[in-house]
Amino acid sequence: MLRRAVGFLDERTGAAPFARKALRYLFPDHWAFLLGEVALYAFIVLVATGVYLTLFFEPNTATTTYHGSYAPLRGVEMTEAYKSVVDISFDVKAGLLIRQTHHWAADVFVAAIVLHLMRIFFTGAFRKPRELTYVIGVLMLLLTLPEGYLGYSLADDLLSGMGLAIGYAVALSIPVIGGNFALLLWGAPFPGDETFWSRMYIAHVFVFPILIGTLLAVHLALVASRHHTQFGRRGRQSERQVLGVPTFPGQTPRSLGLFFAVAATLFLMGGLIQINPVWLWGPYHVGESTNGAQPDWYLGWLIGALRLVPDFDVVIGDRTLVPNPFWGGALFPMVVFAALFAWPWLERRVSGDRRAHNVLDRPRDAPWRTAIGAGFLTWVFLIFFAGAADRIYVFLGISYISQIWAYRALVIVAPFAVLLVTRKVCLALQRAEAIEAEQEEAEHEAERAAAEPAVTSRG
């Protein structure tokens, strides 16, 4: 039976040789290598739940009155977009489950990409011949940020509407072209013209997913083409020989198991833990705002930056040249991503290492890279935490103004401190290993010497 099915397909597609190669492709075995898969599976859940949501969401800002089952909003005027999201949450069966799963999947997707990126960075997997794979990966990360932002802004609730205003301000703040750029995107001064919402919608459900999906396919093809990297063990793994588990039968149940574990986690969260309860926030109005408004976590680094930059616009006379949000909202992320994109070439330049590498470094084996990476991460993380300083104040009572000053000092000092400490730790770990290796050598020598019969003493 199986033979006949395989025969049918192969005769019509010529796929058997490829399938045979693919089925026995070897995956080096390490838990950290599965983080990229977690991201991939979260993306699949995103697309599946997203398609479902498109069947019910109304990307339209015409005003309407709510008459659904959530009492505190009955009789309230709101846009069709907001109303459709409240309807999905209360009046479409399984609607809230799918909506929440979709939103949790987005948060987890970006988190998985970040973890995966950290693994790639700290093990040096971005080196030749995989620089292109790495660049595509960073590009995907860059694309997921606006994709998620657009996604939760589509609901037109009070929180995300405030977020759109801030996005508008950041676009405006770009020197010279800011006004033109913001007007291009919004079609008119904030809150934008009548087509803005459907443009956001098309960008979110079509343009960005296609871009990310295509890049993902290329990324995976490149990974397979250049083959996965591996850690070097003494003996069988090397720059020439890859040691791993074949796709079939070994890797398939593991990958499938991971996929269903990701799906399970996301659906359990989607059903049991509330996320973005837009019915509580109410619809967005230009003249309204609420305390405690925050963007989704993957944009938290930007709100932190916006709060930390001291109050100045760059002015000449009374004309503003560089409005305040530019530094934290636009320049900061540009610098971070420029650094990420450029890193493989920066490292090549500085280290002089232009060889191809199939064997990974353990973080301790590359002290400078690990230290710089740790310092850089510290910088970004501190700015990220600064974004939640007001909730820390509400929760722990630590003065907001003091926190801001403390963070301003820390973001300058701490990365260097972490860099130096990390480098020391790596070197110390290396030394400890070297000593241990010497000891083992010595012990083996001793054993061998003891096992040998009558050793003739040398002169």
Q: Which of positions 29-88 make contact with other proteins (CB under 8 A)? A: 29-35, 38, 70-76
Instruction: Work out whether the CA dihedral 294, 295, 296, 299 comes out positive or negative.
Output: negative
Is 10 a binding residue for other proteins by CB under 8 A? The answer is no
Question: What's the N-to-C CA distance of the chain in angstroms?
Answer: 76
**Three-state DSSP class for residue 316:** strand
- Segment 156-175, which members bind other proteins (CB under 8 A)? 158-159, 162, 165-166, 168-170, 172-175
Part of the chain binding other proteins (CB under 8 A), chosen from 47-55, 133-141, 200-208, 422-430? 422-430
Least Å distance, CB 296 to other proteins, is 5
Is 368 a binding residue for other proteins by CB under 8 A? The answer is no
Residue 26: which residues within 8 A CB-CB, separation 6 or more? 227, 228, 242, 243, 244, 245, 246
Is 425 a binding residue for other proteins by CB under 8 A? The answer is yes
- Segment 332-361, which members bind other proteins (CB under 8 A)? 356, 358
Least Å distance, CB 342 to other proteins, is 22
Phi/psi of residue 391, nearest 5 degrees? -70, -30
Question: What angle (nearest 5°) sits at the alpha carbon of residue 273, between those of residues 269 and 276?
Answer: 105
Evaluate whether 329 touches 169 at the Cβ level (below 8 Å). Answer: yes
Pairing of strands 359-360, 230-231: parallel
Residue of the chain from 15, 55, 62, 188 that contacts other proteins (CB under 8 A)? 188
Residue of the chain from 59, 124, 178, 367 that contacts other proteins (CB under 8 A)? 178
Number of residues that bind other proteins (CB under 8 A): 173
Distance, CA of 312 to CA of 301 (rounded, Å): 20
Query: Which residue in 220, 221, 242 sits closest to 360, CA to CA?
Result: 242
Half-sphere exposure of 272 (CA within 13 A, CB side): 6
Nearer to other proteins, 12 or 449 (CB): 449
Q: For residue 262, what are its two tokens?
A: 């990701």
Evaluate whether 157 touches 284 at the Cβ level (below 8 Å). Answer: yes
Nearer to other proteins, 142 or 392 (CB): 392
Residue of the chain from 388, 407, 411, 419 that contacts other proteins (CB under 8 A)? 388
- Segment 306-325, which members bind other proteins (CB under 8 A)? 306-307, 309-313, 315, 318-325
Part of the chain binding other proteins (CB under 8 A), chosen from 4-12, 133-141, 236-244, 339-347? 236-244
Residue of the chain from 11, 194, 239, 447 that contacts other proteins (CB under 8 A)? 239
Least Å distance, CB 10 to other proteins, is 17
